[in-house]
Amino acid sequence: MLLSSPHLFFVVAALFLLYLTPASSFEMVEKDDIYRLVPCPAFLVFDTAAYLSDMTFELPCRCKPEQINSVVWYYKKNLANDFTQVLTDFNGTTQVDSEDIRSGYDLLLRFSIRMFSLIVFRAQKEDSGHYICGTREGQYFYGYSVDIQESQKAYIAFEDQNGHPQQDLVMKDFVSFTAFWHWTVCDRCDVRGEQRRLGLCYIKSVYLNLRYRVTQDDVASCGSDAVPARFKKLISGRRPEIIIRSCMSPCNKPKKGILGKVYNIMNSVIKLKDRIPWFPKVPTQMHTHSLGSSLIIGCPGAKPEHAVAWDKGNQRLYRTEYLIGKNNSMRVYIDHGNHLNFRFIQRNDKGVYYCWLQGKMKAGFRLAVQTDTGRKRTFTDAESIFAMKVIGMSYLFFTIIFLFIQCGKCCSYNFRCLPLI
C-alpha cells in the first residue's frame, strides 16, 4: 500500500533524525568502568570541600577494587583522635526520606547511602570532619575533609542599601578571602524579586598540609584541617557571606514571528486567571494550626541553594525585611534554608501563602488559625517565652532608670555638687 504525502513526510523526517543521531549515544556503559579507570591512592589523602550549614551534600566514593560490592563510610572528627564513627550498615544500603529530616537531628539520622555515595542532609557545623570510604575490615579507599560554615553567623549585605562584601584579610603568611558562588536566578518573575549570592571563607597560603588535596594550588577553606592551627586563631572572626540584591525577570520572554505572536496572546489569556480572586494560582494545601503554636513552612522541592521567595496573598515578603537576624524581635522570618518561620501564630496570620521556586510560583498554603480554648498555657510555649522576655526587659529598663535617679539624688545630697532632683 502506498503512503500518502503526509505519512511519507513523517517517515522521511524520522529517517533523517535517525541518521543525525550518533549510535554511540545509545551505548550502555557499565558503572564498574569508572572504578577501573580511577586507581585508589597508595597513601590515603583527603579531598577538601566546604558547604554552608543547612545544605545537603553528596560525597561519592571515587575509587574501590572491582571485587568490592558494598562500601562502609566512616567519620572522624579529626585524625589525631582514635574514635571513628561508622555511618552505614555493613550492606551499604541505608536510605532515609529527606522529607523527614530536621536540622537538629544527629548525623546518624541525616545520612543516606546510594550507589556507594554518602549523602548528608541539612549539614550542621558539628558535621565538619573527615569522611572515609572503605570496607568493614577497615580498608580505606577514598577520603574527604568537609568544612561546614555556619549560616546563622554569616555576614549579610544588601546591595540596595549600599552593603559591601568583607575586605580580604592580608597577613604575612596567608590571605583570607571570600569565594562567592554564582548569583541565583531571580526568585520572582514579572514583579520585583531578589537574588542571593553565597560566599564561603577560604585561605591562600603555601603552608597548607600536603595530605589534603585542594581544587586550586595553595587554597583551602578556612575550617579545613589543611589550614595550620596557628592560622585558624587569626581568622576565627572571619564569616561566610550572603549578598542580596533586587532584580526583575519576565515570566515568559516575548517571541518573534507569527507563531511567536500566537504564543504571546495565549500567555496573556492564561495570565487573566490570576486576576480572578477565587481561582487558585497554583495547587494549594490547607493547614490548620492552633493560636500561639509555632510553625515552619517549606517550599516543596526546594534546597537551601535554590532561589525561593514567599508571599502572603499580594504582599511580598522580601528578605530585606524578613530575613533571619534582621531584627531579633521578629515573629515571622525567613531563615537561610528558605523556610518561612512563625515563632507563634496570631489571628492575623491566617491567609494564603505562596512560595516561588527558581523564579516560578510553585505552591500555596492556606493557613487557618484555630482557637484552642481547652488548651492550657505553659511556660514552654513560644508565646509565653516571648511575653516573659518583654516583661523581663521592661523590668530591667525601669530598674536601671530607678537606680540612676537614686544615685543622682545621693550625689546631690552628699556632695552638694548637683541641684536637688
The Cα 165–Cα 156 span in angstroms is: 8
More confident: 18 or 416: 416
Bridge partners of residue 58, in order along the sequence: 119
> Domain 281-370 carries which CATH code?
2.60.40.10
More confident: 271 or 93: 271
Q: Which tens digits make up the pLDDT trace of 175-204? A: 999 999 889 999 998 889 999 998 999 999
More confident: 191 or 379: 191
pLDDT of residue 174: 93
**Of the CATH numbers 2.60.40.10, 2.40.170.20, 3.40.710.10, 3.30.1460.30, which one belongs to the domain with range 32-149?**
2.60.40.10
Q: Which tens digits make up the pLDDT trace of 230-253? A: 998 899 888 999 999 999 988 876
Tell me the one-letter amino acid at 203.
Answer: I
The average pLDDT across 400-405 equals 88
Does the structure show a pLDDT above 80 at 97? no
Does the structure show a pLDDT above 80 at 255? no
How would DSSP label each residue in 163-222? --PPPPEE-SS-EEEEEE-PPPPPSSSSSEEEEEEEEEEEEE-TTS-TTEE-SSTTEEET
- Reported as a pLDDT band with limits 50, 70 and 90, residue 17 is very low
Q: Any residues with CB less than 8 A from the CB of 418 and at least 6 apart, and which? A: 408, 411, 412
Q: Give percent above pLDDT 90 in the chain.
A: 21
Using alpha carbons, list the distances in angstroms from residue 244 to 150, 306, 320: 18, 13, 8
126-140, 246-260, 313-327: which range is least confident on average? 246-260
More confident: 325 or 180: 180
The Cα 123–Cα 111 span in angstroms is: 9
Q: Report the predicted TM-score, pTM, of the whole model to 2 decimal places.
A: 0.64
Q: Any residues with CB less than 8 A from the CB of 215 and at least 6 apart, and which? A: 48
pLDDT of residue 23: 38
Please count the other Cβ atoms lying within 10 Å of the Cβ belonging to residue 311.
Answer: 19
Residue bearing cell 583527603: 46
3-12, 204-213, 358-367: which range is least confident on average? 3-12
pLDDT of residue 261: 60
> What is the distance of C-alpha 158 from the center of its chain?
18
Tell me the one-letter amino acid at 143.
Answer: G
Exposed, middle or buried: residue 63 (CB in 10 Å: 0-12, 13-18, 19+)? middle
Tell me the one-letter amino acid at 277.
Answer: P
Q: Give percent above pLDDT 70 in the chain.
A: 73
Using alpha carbons, list the distances in angstroms from residue 257 to 252, 254, 263, 264, 270: 15, 10, 10, 10, 20
More confident: 79 or 26: 79
Handedness of CA 154, 158, 161, 165 (dihedral sign): positive
- For 130, the grid coordinates are 573527615
Bridge partners of residue 67, in order along the sequence: none
Does the structure show a pLDDT above 60 at 104? no
pLDDT of residue 374: 54
How would DSSP label each residue in 52-109? ETT--EEE------TT----EEEEES-TT----EE-S-TTS-----GGG--TTS-GGG
> What is the distance of C-alpha 62 from the center of its chain?
25
- Reported as a pLDDT band with limits 50, 70 and 90, residue 408 is confident
The Cα 237–Cα 5 span in angstroms is: 75
The Cα 291–Cα 301 span in angstroms is: 28
Q: Which tens digits make up the pLDDT trace of 288-321? A: 888 888 888 888 888 777 899 999 988 999 998 8
3 state DSSP class of 132 = strand
Residues in the chain: 421
The average pLDDT across 147-172 equals 88
Does the structure show a pLDDT above 70 at 263? no
| DSSP-derived pairing of the beta strands 284-290 and 57-59 | unpaired
For the chain, residues classed under CATH 2.60.40.10 are 32-149, 281-370
Does the structure show a pLDDT above 80 at 99? no
pLDDT of residue 21: 42
Does the structure show a pLDDT above 90 at 356? yes
Tell me the one-letter amino acid at 327.
Answer: N
Q: Which tens digits make up the pLDDT trace of 207-238? A: 998 888 877 778 999 999 899 989 988 998 88
33-37, 56-60, 144-148, 267-271: which range is least confident on average? 33-37
| DSSP-derived pairing of the beta strands 155-158 and 140-149 | unpaired
The span from the first CA to the last CA of the chain, in angstroms, equals 115
The Cα 175–Cα 124 span in angstroms is: 26
